[in-house]
Structure 1
Amino acid sequence: MKNKLTLLFLLASWFVAFSAFSQNVDYETQDKVVFEKYATFIQPFQSKSKELILQKTAEFFLEKPYVAGTLDKNDTEKLVINLREFDCVTFVETVIALANTTASGNLSFDNFASQLQQIRYRNGVIDGYDSRLHYTSDWAYNNVEKNILSAMSQQLGGVLQTKTIDFMTSHPSAYNALKTDDSMLKKIKNTENEINKRKGFYYLPKDKITAKSAEIPHMAMIAFTTSIKGLDTTHTGFAYKKNGKLTFIHASSAKNKVVIDEKTLSDYCQAQKSCTGIMVMPVL
């Protein structure tokens, strides 16, 4: 009898937790359809290296449209899953989450949702708009702590960027969640203060990218650092090596779709006036 009660309690607890998790997830039927297509596509590579799984996953989404602001459509913070369209950050998050789902051996939509939440939110917990990892340097810091990424910029000969990060609170009108919510603005300010207590982050200056190209791993996550005041990065993607050329695969706002860029990483950064270099973070 005691064992039956224990089992019933565990099942009830699981149901409550699962129900709460499901209520926090926002997706469309088509996203599940895309996921099933992906699962069929990636299955032959399930036992291969993480690098190859990442590559095949990123390539699966080539030509998908670029759309900004897909995470900000709800009044309350939810895990938004959108496999139909991406901005540069949601592309990176989705590819890593799907690759981790594949490598785990549990190719289920629920596992993917859990993996995505772990990547997108501070310590994997959804607790309001401020729990989302908005700044890339903060996103990288937290995902290194969670053993999802490895910080590589310093060992490549990177330098420490010590600028103050406060772009969001300095430009609240650019964020719907901050325009009229002073309480949330204070929470984001607290997050910025925590980021700034870390005394900066490492990045590889743009004049060193070419010299270090051979050492930058294929499918390492890349973030382009910027000279814009208060901001850490402006764009993200994955390093992509083909025929000896180091470029990157990303959701491009200029091309309005996911592409393998025709420029090298170095040339792309050099062409962007505000680009100062790159953060390099291999996926574990």
Structure 2
Amino acid sequence: MIPLLNTLLFAVVYVGGSAELRDRMLQHTDLQQPGLRMVQLARQSLGRPYRAFSLDQAPEQLRIDLTGFDCFLFVEQLLALAVEDTRVGFEQRVRQLRYQGGSVDYCTRQHYFSRWSQQAQASGLLQDITPALPGAIRRQRRLNFMSTNQQSYAPLRQARHRECIEDLESNLVVQQSYIPLPRVAEVEPLLRDGDIFALVTRVSGLDVTHVGFVERSGPHVHAIHAAPGRGVMRSHQLSRYASGVDDVIGLSFHRPLQP
């Protein structure tokens, strides 16, 4: 059961045929373990288009789009779908994951994966398994990419949004564990279907640049993710794929839990 985040009503916008698609996806998902369910849901999503900045429409509403994704929304919505069978429960989970305290507003939206995953862990939906994996190292990271690249974010043209993001990022520092690229192949046997991977970056002001799901096929570990210009796809051999992405220094891994 999901605790009430607040007593305010909020608008839910299902894009295209996403409401019906949610129902169809669940009809073809029969496993109870959330990680396995997520892999089933991810496989059903293969081939759907990539859509960038799809949330950046005024006014801010709880938008649900299962017809196309960026990498972050792909992971977020499928995680919510994997743990909630009812429509209301699914909507509440998306809201709980997407917004700090469940308050639907651009300023409370989780714009960085590290903060998003921390909130998901606090809600009992994820476990950061990275620190327990062989070769894990830890870094302190200041997050201020949005403040220093405002031209890339249309909502920051509004003074209110610009001010709240600048205020948030004035002292936003996170602790981040990751597996360095040369050791990712070593930890692949320890990963499970549906684990969430994040590509940890050296880009200043950012924590990660891409996320997706782990898929096991016998001894092999692949990635299912929403890729710019290509849509939802499978990349064979996770470690090899990650090594080919610019500015990636390692990966972090997060295991879904049944709340």
How far apart are the structure 2 equivalents of 1:123 and 1:154? 26
1:173 and 2:151 matched: yes
How far apart are the structure 2 equivalents of 1:168 and 1:28? 26
How far apart are the structure 2 equivalents of 1:123 and 1:147? 15
* TM-score for both structures, normalised by structure 1: 0.83
1:62 and 2:84 matched: no
For residue 204 of structure 1, report the CA deviation from its aligned partner: 1.1
1:119 and 2:92 matched: no
Percentage of pairs with the same residue: 25
The within-5 A match list for 1:157-172 is 157-172=135-150
1:240–1:39 distance in 2 versus 1, CA, 3 Å: closer
The aligned counterpart of 1:258 is: 232
The aligned counterpart of 2:192 is: 217
The aligned counterpart of 2:177 is: 202
Residue pair 2:16, 2:65 contacting (<8 A) in 1 also: no
Please identify runs of 4+ aligned residues in structure 1 that moved more than 3 A.
none
Give CA deviations for 1:84-131 in whole Å, capped at 9, x if unaligned: 111101100111010011xxxxx33222111111111113332x2121
Which amino acid in the other structure matches residue 59 of structure 1? R
The aligned counterpart of 1:95 is: 78
How far apart are the structure 2 equivalents of 1:146 and 1:193? 26
1:150–1:226 distance in 2 versus 1, CA, 3 Å: same
The within-5 A match list for 1:1-284 is 20-21=9-10, 24-28=11-15, 30-42=17-29, 44-45=30-31, 48-73=32-57, 75-101=58-84, 107-126=85-104, 128-156=105-133, 157-181=135-159, 183-193=160-170, 195-196=172-173, 198=174, 200-254=175-229, 256-262=230-236, 264-284=237-257
Aligned residues: 252
* TM-score for both structures, normalised by structure 2: 0.90
1:51–1:70 distance in 2 versus 1, CA, 3 Å: same
Gaps of 5+ in 1: 1-13, 102-106
The RMSD of aligned alpha carbons is: 2.0
For residue 250 of structure 1, report the CA deviation from its aligned partner: 0.6
**DSSP-derived class of the 1:222 partner:** strand
**DSSP-derived class of the 1:169 partner:** helix
How far apart are the structure 2 equivalents of 1:68 and 1:80? 14
Gaps of 5+ in 2: none
Residue pair 1:123, 1:146 contacting (<8 A) in 2 also: no
**DSSP-derived class of the 2:138 partner:** strand
For residue 155 of structure 1, report the CA deviation from its aligned partner: 1.2
- Identify the structure with the greater helix proportion: 1
How far apart are the structure 2 equivalents of 1:96 and 1:276? 25
How far apart are the structure 2 equivalents of 1:275 and 1:208? 13
1:217–1:191 distance in 2 versus 1, CA, 3 Å: farther
How far apart are the structure 1 equivalents of 2:224 and 2:88? 26
Select the structure with the greater relative contact order (CA < 8 A; seq sep ≥ 6). Answer: 2
How far apart are the structure 1 equivalents of 2:194 and 2:228? 20
For residue 55 of structure 1, report the CA deviation from its aligned partner: 1.4
The aligned counterpart of 1:104 is: none
- Identify the structure with the greater strand proportion: 2
